[in-house]
Amino acid sequence: MGCAMKVGWGLINILMVISNLQQCVLGLSKVPCFFIFGDSLSDSGNNNYLATTAKANYSPYGIDFALGPAGRFCNGETRVDIITKILGFNNYIPSFATASTSDIHNGLNYASSGSGILEETGRILGELFSLNQQLQNHKETIKNLVAKLGTVDSATQYLKKCLYSVGMGTNDYVNNYFSIVSSFNMLLYDLEKFTESLIHQYSKQLRILHHLGARKIVLFGLGPLGSTPYTTNAFPVNTTKNMNNGAKLFNKKLKSLVDQLNTELTDAKFIYVNVYQMMSSDVLLSSGFKVLNKSCCTVLNATMACYPFCTPSCENRKEYVYWDGFHPTQAMNRILAQRSYEAVHPSDVHPFDISHLLKL
């Protein structure tokens, strides 16, 4: 009788823990957890703890952010921060570098500024978490989640309900293929072959993510890489045109990859977000932006970074597309987040938006 009572109370305690988790997470958000992989467009502070020059933990970064200069390459929220709020989470998804075991049921942000699909991308900037390393970090998270939930099956079922965001490729072009100081790839491959090899590697990494339990995956395409304040100042016109051509080529192949993955991995669903389309001049002007190709903050030596502790010269940050030489303002990130969650135009996403993905 006493033994039966103990077993009974043990089961009750487990059910109470699960119930509390559901109330704590599902009751407040559209998904139980949100896992984020990417580069500086999504980094929420992982690079603060790495030996790298790719950091944004100083003002004027974070001038419009409640936590100040926390490591985001923006004046305020990144696109994944805004999606997090749309999903209904009360707090931002914690960065992998700062998260405790108690945080992991909400998801983690593994994004690392300067990182890429290729292992060597961004290494000239110092330490970073490449996409391969981000996947390794996620494996560690899953181990902790299994320990927390009790069984592998419990963790597997939990992860199936989560949303995954992946946004990579930008640095593989800007800080690798087109880099004057670090690239051998341009000597070895033309743009078409380089992009093919990049997508091939990306496909393998996304399949690993699926193997780790991801079932609802959002893939952000590349924006107009050659049209940023940094690239237009640092590279000749023919190079910036090729950068944009590279972004378009990558996006075209990524969209096809989404179709392939959805066909082959029938228990999952991948969607493609057309960032390039959302950053077209027509969309920007109709959205109220007035300054399309200049940085809002004063940048250091025509690089992409804001000059440290310098007050931004722009009067209205909501009118600027770019915060520094490369990264969007919070106002631009709002457009990207809102239209990826609920498409305004059919070309914004493929095959459908995040809101429809969550219903599957």
Looking at residue 86, the DSSP 8-state letter turns out to be H
Confidence (pLDDT) at 183: 57
Structural domain that includes position 7: 1-30
**Same domain membership, residue 15 and residue 86:** no
Per-residue pLDDT averaged across 209-238, rounded? Answer: 96
**Same domain membership, residue 147 and residue 110:** yes
**Same domain membership, residue 91 and residue 155:** yes
- Residues with catalytic function: 40, 324, 327
**Same domain membership, residue 284 and residue 145:** yes
CATH code of the domain in which 58 resides = 3.40.50.1110
The three-state secondary structure class of 328 is: strand
Across the chain, mean pLDDT equals 91
**Total number of domains constituting the chain:** 2
- Residue 259's φ and ψ, nearest 5 degrees, are -60, -40
**Same domain membership, residue 153 and residue 75:** yes
Contacts of 53 (CB under 8 A, 6+ apart): 125, 126
Confidence (pLDDT) at 181: 64
**Same domain membership, residue 133 and residue 1:** no
> Measured between alpha carbons, how far is 52 from 31 in angstroms, rounded to an integer?
33
Amino acid sitting at position 85: K
- Does pLDDT of 19 surpass 90? no
**Same domain membership, residue 26 and residue 127:** no
Confidence (pLDDT) at 2: 32
Sign of the alpha-carbon torsion through 309, 310, 316, 318: negative
Beta bridge partners of 166: 37, 219
Beta bridge partners of 320: 291
Per-residue pLDDT averaged across 162-174, rounded? Answer: 97
**Same domain membership, residue 39 and residue 14:** no
Read off the pLDDT of residues 27-47 as tens digits, 9 standing for 90 and up.
479 999 999 999 999 999 999
Q: What H or E segment, with its residue span, contains residue 271?
A: strand 269-273
> Measured between alpha carbons, how far is 168 from 345 in angstroms, rounded to an integer?
23
In this structure, what token pair is assigned to residue 347?
């070309």
- Does pLDDT of 182 surpass 70? no
**Same domain membership, residue 345 and residue 201:** yes
